[in-house]
A and B are shown apart, each in its own frame.
Chain A
Amino acid sequence: MKFNKIIKIMAVLLLPYTSLNLVLAQDVLQVDVNDAYAAPIPIAITALQGNSSFLLSGESMADYGRKISQVVSADLVRSGLFKSIDQRAFLSKDINILRPNFKDWRAVGAQDLVTGSIILQENGRMKVEFRLWDVFGGTRIKGLRYQALPKDWRRVAHRIADAVYRRLTGEKGYFDTRIVYIAETGSYTKRIKRLAIMDQDGKNHKYLTSGKNMALTPRFSPTIQEITYLSYVNDMPRVYLYNLDSGKQEILGDFDGMTFAPRFSADGNTVIMSMAKKGNSDIYAMELKTRRVKRLTKNSAIDTSPSYSPDGKKIVFNSDRGGSQQLYVMDENGRGIHRISFGKGRYATPVWSPRGDLIAFTRQYGGEFYIGVMRTDGSGERLLTKSFLDEGPTWSPNGRVLMFFRKKPYDKKGKGGETQLWSVDLTGYNERQIHTPRDASDPAWSPLLR
């Protein structure tokens, strides 16, 4: 009997990867959480209760239930908007996942509660359910069921976290996402730079290139399956496409000068980039289907780091045409160029937010580097971070969090120089390091996975 079951599970585990099936339960009522940012919401996340099915690894579904609840908790806490109540403080020992004892949860200060279950089915897929409860109202406010292979348990956890985040903040989540970045190794003068990819929380880390050719500035396609980046193949810096499914790379276009600073349009149909020739860098857009190239700027200044607005109608870029490096906005056809940044110092690496209302940038001023945001007309500038070297912001897909890289200075003994990924909330609070196996730079956030 048992042996039979294991065989069945084995067979199903060998099935090719298929995407998660999402079965929606019901939304019950809306809760106003406008004041959620003032103080973190105290939430109790219980371990999903598992049946006694074991996987070949020896882990039970109860083990998976615990692991999933830990990842959900870590995601929500990292957002800075939630406080996860320590499971050791829970009063209820036997948690009724369908009828929680709200009195016990009120007593430990929980405002919200997550319960759930996890079952390994005959087809080898896990059936994962969770319910989100409003402890004070004593009502269920969200419930979802997922079907997934055990190996995708982290993605299930991130999607539960996204659903809880969305229900309680009113904004889309960003946990079921990935980060592509540049992994750095080697000495200061002989740095090896490779493309690498990982989940948003640093897990499932993988190198994509060998490091033979220096790789820089990767960016995600909104369709997720592709990355555009800069690679020095045969000492020729050019923009490349990297397909995540096939692992294949191809050069983008046939330019007789350096191409760099690539970025996809929000619909994924166009890559915008700079081309440098004879000491002059201008901005070009390439339609991917036809590979047709359109030159958008024609100015003796350095025009680079272009980024489309989400509707594709505007482009923000940086240029030193006014004497120092500042931010400019133009129409998609290159017309109507106007300057939007007027502060002291230099402005660089502008990135249009996915919501369309803000532009994130790097600012250099007084020997320091800052990550900041401004409205698209340049008003309302706010600086969120400051250090010796902060550079290259990338937006979480919901436009709430910015990731960037920070390099520490060297001391007189040559120590220091650590280069790491950091994130900061749009409010300027909740600055956190994203841990990577080695030094890291040039992060790019994926859209929500599907």
Chain B
Amino acid sequence: MLKLNNGIKYTLLTGAVLALTACANTNKTAIEKTPDPVVVPDQDTNPVETGVVDELPIADYAMGSQEHLDDIANASLVYFGYDRYDLTENARSSLQLQAKFLNEYSNVNFVIEGHCDERGTREYNLALGERRANAARNYLVALGVDSSRLSVVSYGKERPLSMSNHDQNRRGYSRVK
């Protein structure tokens, strides 16, 4: 049920991303085209060629790359509560997108990083980060991902993203390997 639901979400999100990217591309093309230089009529013998347009890729990253995963609704990141390692509904949604991603790109492996905010002591946070990374890992395995494709590393409070917003620092990050 949940899976199906999120599958749809994924499709919708991916669709939205595609649509946005497509829009951006159209705009880009349009902008590139606007400052049309004055066409100096040279020789009549060569008819003006129009209509040949190179198809631009829908994204400027490789499929199955970190950028790709980051781009899918920011699916590489999951957030945790203060001193918590249980997965929120949002975290589960992101992990479901990750599972789908892994399913689609079978040559991709993940290193799942566990991070904490600085409002805890260093050693405890190393353990907590490891718990968080494993919570994410276990959920991916439950979704059918082969556990050999997943490794974990805890950074405790050593690699924050934000100085002041601790919500952003309590996170799991899936790094494409």
1/0 per position for A58-93, CB-CB distance to B under 8 A? 000000000000000000000000000000000000
Q: Which among A96-104, A273-281, A291-299 touches the partner chain?
A: A273-281
Q: Is the CB of A261 within 8 A of B138?
A: no
Assess the A389–B158 pair: CB atoms within 8 A. Answer: no
Q: Which residue of B lies closest to A303 (CB)?
A: B127
**Min C-beta distance of A256 to chain B, whole Å:** 11
CA distance A258 to B121 in the complex (A): 17
Q: Which of B123, B124, B159 contacts A189 (CB 8 A)?
A: B159
A279 with B161: CB separation less than 8 A: no
Question: Is B111 located at the chain interface by the 8 A CB criterion?
Answer: yes
Question: B-facing mask of A403-423, CB < 8 A → 1, else 0?
Answer: 000010010101001000000
Q: Taking each of B119, B121, B126, which has the highest tally of chain A beta carbons within 10 Å of its own beta carbon? A: B121
Contacts of A373 in B (CB 8 A): none
Contacts of B159 in A (CB 8 A): 189, 191
Q: Inside 8 A of B160's CB, which chain A residues have their CB? A: 188-189
Determine the residue in chain B with the shortest Cβ distance to A324.
B83
Residues of B within 8 A of A276 (CB): 126-127, 130, 154
Q: Is the CB of A274 within 8 A of B123?
A: yes
Minimum CB–CB distance for A441 against chain B, Å: 8
Expressed in whole angstroms, the Cα–Cα distance for A302 and B129 within the complex equals 11
Provide the residues of chain A in CB contact with B119, threshold 8 Å: 364, 389
A168-193 at interface with B (beta carbon < 8 Å): 188-189, 191, 193
A276 vs B154: C-alpha distance when bound (angstroms): 10
Given A235-B153, A258-B130, is A318 in contact with B124 using a C-beta cutoff of 8 Å?
A: yes
Q: Is the CB of A414 within 8 A of B124?
A: no
Q: Is the CB of B131 within 8 A of A193?
A: no
Q: Mask for B97-109, Cβ within 8 A of A = 1, else 0?
A: 0000000000000
Bound: A414/B163 CA distance, A: 7
Q: Main secondary structure on chain A at its contact with chain B? A: strand
A391 touches B122 (CB 8 A): yes
- Whether B15 is near chain A, meaning CB under 8 Å from some CB there, is no
Q: Quick check: is A385 within 8 A (CB to CB) of the other chain?
A: no
**Which of B85, B123, B134, B138 interacts with A304 by CB under 8 Å?**
B123
- Contact string against A for B residues 4-31, beta-carbon threshold 8 Å, 1 for contact and 0 otherwise: 0000000000000000000000000000
Is the pair A279, B163 in contact by a Cβ cutoff of 8 Å? Answer: no
Tell me, in angstroms, the Cα distance from A302 to B128 when the chains sit together. Answer: 8
Q: Is A221 an interface residue (CB 8 A)?
A: no
Contact-residue bracket for chain A? 35 or more
Q: Are B122 and A216 in contact (CB under 8 A)?
A: yes
Task: Give bound CA distance, A349 to B124, whole Å.
Answer: 8
Q: Is the CB of A235 within 8 A of B123?
A: no
Is B120's CB under 8 angstroms from A261's CB?
no
Pairwise interchain contact A442-B153, C-beta atoms closer than 8 A:
no
Q: Is B145 an interface residue (CB 8 A)?
A: no
Complex Cα gap A305–B122 (Å): 10
- Residues in A with CB closer than 8 Å to B123 are 217, 260-261, 274, 304-305, 348-349
Interface size class of B (residues with CB under 8 A): 20 to 34
When distances are taken between beta carbons in the complex, the residues of chain B under 8 Å from A364 are: 119-121
| A309-B161 Cα distance, complex, nearest whole Å | 38
List residues 74-88 of chain B with CB under 8 A from any CB of chain A: 85
Q: Is B135 an interface residue (CB 8 A)?
A: yes
B131 touches A391 (CB 8 A): no
B45 within 8 A of A: no
Instruction: Judge whether A214 is part of the interface by a CB distance below 8 angstroms.
Output: yes
A325: Cβ under 8 A from any B Cβ: yes
Q: Does B34 contact A (CB under 8 A)?
A: no
Checking B120, B126, B161, B164 against A258 with a beta-carbon cut-off of 8 angstroms, the contacting residue is B126
Q: A189-B160, A279-B131, A414-B163 are in contact. Are A392 and B122 (CB under 8 A)?
A: yes
CA distance A389 to B119 in the complex (A): 8
A236 within 8 A of B: yes
Is B118 in the interface zone, CB < 8 Å from A?
A: yes
Partner of B131, one of A216, A230, A302, A407: A302
Residue from A236, A260, A391 within 8 A of B126 (CB atoms):
A260
Cross-chain contact B164 with A410 (CB below 8 angstroms): yes
**Which of B118, B123, B158 is packed against the most chain A CB atoms within 10 Å?**
B123
A391 to B122, CA, bound (A): 8
- What 0/1 pattern do residues 34 to 53 of B give for CB contact below 8 A with A? 00000000000000000000
A348 to B122, CA, bound (A): 9
Q: Is the CB of A348 within 8 A of B124?
A: yes
Chain A residues near B111 (CB-CB < 8 A): 235
Q: Which residues of B contact A394 (CB under 8 A)?
A: none
Contact of A362 with B by CB under 8 A: yes
- What string of 1s and 0s marks CB contacts (under 8 Å) between A326-369 and chain B? 00000000000000000000101100000000000010100000
Residues of B within 8 A of A (CB): 85, 111, 118-124, 126-128, 130-131, 133-135, 138, 153-154, 158-161, 163-164
A318-B124, A410-B163 given; 5 more Cβ-contact pairs under 8 Å: A236-B153, A260-B126, A362-B121, A364-B119, A442-B122
Q: List 21 A-B contacts (CB under 8 A).
A: A188-B160, A193-B158, A235-B153, A260-B123, A260-B127, A261-B123, A261-B126, A276-B126, A276-B130, A279-B133, A280-B131, A302-B124, A304-B124, A304-B127, A305-B121, A325-B124, A349-B123, A362-B121, A364-B120, A410-B164, A414-B163
A-B pairs, top 3 by smallest CB distance, nearest first, are A279-B134, A348-B121, A281-B127
